[in-house]
Structures are given as structure tokens and as C-alpha cells.
Chain A
Amino acid sequence: MTAIVASSPTRNLPDPMLPRPFRVQRVRKETQDTFTLELEPATGEGDYPFAAGQFNMLYIYGVGEVPISISGDPTKPHRLVHTTRAVGVVTNAMRQLKRGDMLAVRGPFGNSWPVVEAQGKDVIIVAGGLGLAPVRPALYHVLAYREKYNNVVLLYGTRTPLDILYRREIEGWRSRFDVDVHVTVDRAMHPWRGNVGVVTRIIPKAPFDHLNAVAMICGPEVMIHFTVLELEKRGLAPGSIFISMERNMKCAIGFCGHCQWGPNFICKDGPIFSYEEIKPFFGRRGL
């Protein structure tokens, strides 16, 4: 079997430490505490090409800078889209932004989901909570080139029905006849008629051929851990499982060391890792 590696697209960045001004084109509230920003270059530059899985450093003037995954469509590089949760000083300030406001962007950084290497295979995307945002570009890519893939499965778990991200878009994916979409929530009241339970419970019934499939997982690490266990129970090899990791990224180019994780810097060597590569230290305390 040919080993698959996470892609590392060549980049031609002028200066990775130099923020570029962007203007807020649109702000959309997704859930009670998550929102999506659509940005355009303030300098009139054209497209903003990126690969599915990459992230940007978003800088709110006078407040600070945070790493946020790009959650837009890589086949539509004229729109830069970021979805995040308001949890800290910077992201709370970000939530206050309105159309026309300015912020600065460094990036894109990091490697990408193995969307090219997954061609000819079943694709299983497992997302938990806000983890749907970083993996959405991979799904966009797969759907844009749908004929190149076999079964495409999205398994999405979140807290409650009110926490479902991109609800209308998920409904759209569900109405297609070529994508298997399963959504589950941890708790619910009537009139919710969907699944209740952790996302790992859906894996045993997901339609994929374990000998010819690639899984892409994004979510909290505990969820990733149990998702990997279930995928391995189904017979999927560690080299066919890819996960997106998060740590405290500051410089985004592997200089500052804040995001060191074992022998890797998440910003430079990740954020996407093959499970085979990180299995020896995944989940290890202190890393």
C-alpha cells in the first residue's frame, strides 16, 4: 500500500511576519458563541489562494493576534472565510467587528488535508463541535471534484441542536445523493428528531471500505482519541487517518517554539498529521 502524507503546498509569501490589511466584508453569527468573518484584501489584491487545512494569523489592531483555521472554499480563493468562537480577548474583540472594519492577516500557514492523495478512495470526515470549520475546506474540495472520490461521509457531533455549525449548508449536503451526512448531538430535547449520542457511535455503521479509505478528523483531542479507536476497530490503518492538531501558535513559522508538540511544531509541521506519524506521543501527558 502506498503511504499517504499530508500535503505541504509550496508557498510564495512575501514576508510571513508582515501582516496584510483586510476589510471585513461580512459577519455572520453561526451559533450563540461562534461567528464567521468574510474578508477581502484592503489593498485591492486579487485572490487569496490557500490549501484545505491551512490557517491564518488574524490580528485585531491594538488587541492581539490569534491563529484561526481557514474555513472557506479553496476553489473560491477570492473570499477569505474564518469561523471561530468568542473565547478570549482577541476573539471577543473580533466578534464586535462590523462590515467595513479592518484587521490584519498573516498567512496562510501550515500543511493541508490529503485531499489529492485521497482521490480514488472513500473519504470519511469526522468533526466535533467547532472542528467542522477547519475541515470544511476539505469537504468543499472533495465535493468540487466529487467524481474523483468514492464514498464521501461526513460525521458531525456537537453539543446540542443549537450548537450545530453551518446548519443550512449541512442541510444542503444532506439533500445531495452523493454524500452521507450524519449529525449527532450530546443532548437534546423534543422536538429534535436527529441522533443523540457521541459521534464515535456512528462510526461502526459508516459506509466505507477500510482497505481503501482516508479519514480526516478535527475536534477536541478526547474526541479524536476515541474516533481513532473506532476507526481502527473498523480496520482503518493508522497511515490512513489524519488529524488536525491545535496548540498555542504564536509566530506561525516555527521560530518561537510555543506550539512545539513532541518533535514537531504544529504551525510548521502541521496542523495536519498522519496518525501513524504521531501515534507514539498522541495523548501523552505533558506534551
Chain B
Amino acid sequence: MSTPSIESILARHPFFQEIAPAELGAIIEHARLISFEPGRLIFHQGEPAAQLFLITEGKVSLEVFAPQRGPILLMTLGPEDVLGWSWLFPPYRWHLDARALEPTQAIAIDGARLRERCEANHELGYQLMRHSVGVIEQRLQAALLQLVDLYGK
């Protein structure tokens, strides 16, 4: 079975829907396929947030490290999920750790180039921001539900 190209993955990914083909072509120039072995950190809290990841295979945990407790798993993400928002907002540093739990493949897109394109083309900026807010809203809602302790006594 042949591996789908970056172009075909991005073209059908919900995050890049309604993006003009020319713009999508320009974004692809700053995208690359990247693999992570299980246990490997994809990014680390405090480090510069330089990329947006679209997970294509595997499973990734978002974690926060607590002294004397170790890494606490906050959420897991899988195929088609978008990973990482900190490239979009100053100070462009990761707030959490992300770790591959399984053999994981993702498309990494250069965040700084993406921001530049959004500044140059506000239509692109609007579409990406709209999709970003949609995903962030879902994650926020899920995070709030996790806080409720639904299954407690």
C-alpha cells in the first residue's frame, strides 16, 4: 500500500478545508513528514514552539510534569488530530510536553512560515484561525468536562 502524500493528506484534512489550492501548495512547501518512536518527546514545555503537527498515525499524549509525581497525562491525540497551538501565539513556547505513546507519524508545518502567510493573506489567516478556534473550543469543552469529575460519587 502506498503512503499518501503530504499534499493529499492536507487537501482532505478538515483543518485545511476551504483553503485555496495555491495557498495549500505554498503551505506544503513548509511541511514535512516526521516519525516518532514510542516514548519519544515530540516537544517539551518551555522550548520554542516552531511547528504545527497533524497526526496521521499513532497516539500522542499531552503531559505536564509535576515534581515528585512525574508526568501527568492530560489528553491523548490520534490520527487526524491537530497537535500544538503555541506556534500561533506569543511568546511561541510550548506550555506542555507531547510524547509519542505508539509509533507515530505526523506532518510538521513550519509555524513561523504559516504565520507569515496568514499575515500576507488575511483570507488564509481567517480560515486557519476559524478552524483553530473550532478545535480549541472542542478541546476546551473536553478539558472542562474532565475537571467536573463526572464519574465521582
Could you say which of B70, B78, B146 contacts A198, with CB atoms under 8 Å apart?
B146
**Stretch of A74-82, A184-192, A254-262 on the interface side:** A184-192
Q: Which of chain B's residues have a CB closer than 8 A to the CB of A16? A: none
Query: Are B80 and A205 in contact, CB atoms less than 8 angstroms apart?
Result: yes
Give Cα A203–Cα B6 distance, bound, in whole angstroms: 26
Give Cα A226–Cα B73 distance, bound, in whole angstroms: 22
- Of chain A, the residue at the smallest CB distance from B69 is A189
Asked if B34 is an interface residue, CB under 8 A from chain A, the answer is no
Chain A, interface size category, equals: 20 to 34
Give Cα A194–Cα B59 distance, bound, in whole angstroms: 9
Query: Are B153 and A85 in contact, CB atoms less than 8 angstroms apart?
Result: yes
Query: Are A200 and B146 in contact, CB atoms less than 8 angstroms apart?
Result: no
Asked if A234 is an interface residue, CB under 8 A from chain B, the answer is no
Give Cα A26–Cα B48 distance, bound, in whole angstroms: 57
The prevalent SS among residues of A at the interface is mixed
Query: Are B73 and A189 in contact, CB atoms less than 8 angstroms apart?
Result: yes
Query: Are A196 and B145 in contact, CB atoms less than 8 angstroms apart?
Result: no
Q: Known: A33-B153, A87-B153, A205-B80. Is A198-B73 also a contact (CB below 8 A)?
A: no
17 contacts between A and B (CB under 8 A): A33-B153, A129-B151, A157-B150, A159-B149, A187-B146, A189-B70, A190-B71, A194-B76, A196-B75, A196-B76, A197-B146, A198-B150, A200-B142, A205-B80, A220-B150, A222-B145, A222-B150
Q: Which residues of A contact B (CB under 8 A)?
A: 33, 85, 87, 128-130, 157-159, 163, 184, 186-190, 192-198, 200-201, 205, 219-220, 222-223, 226
Top 9 A-B residue pairs of the complex, sorted by shortest distance between their CB atoms: A129-B151, A188-B73, A198-B145, A196-B73, A159-B151, A196-B76, A186-B146, A195-B76, A197-B75
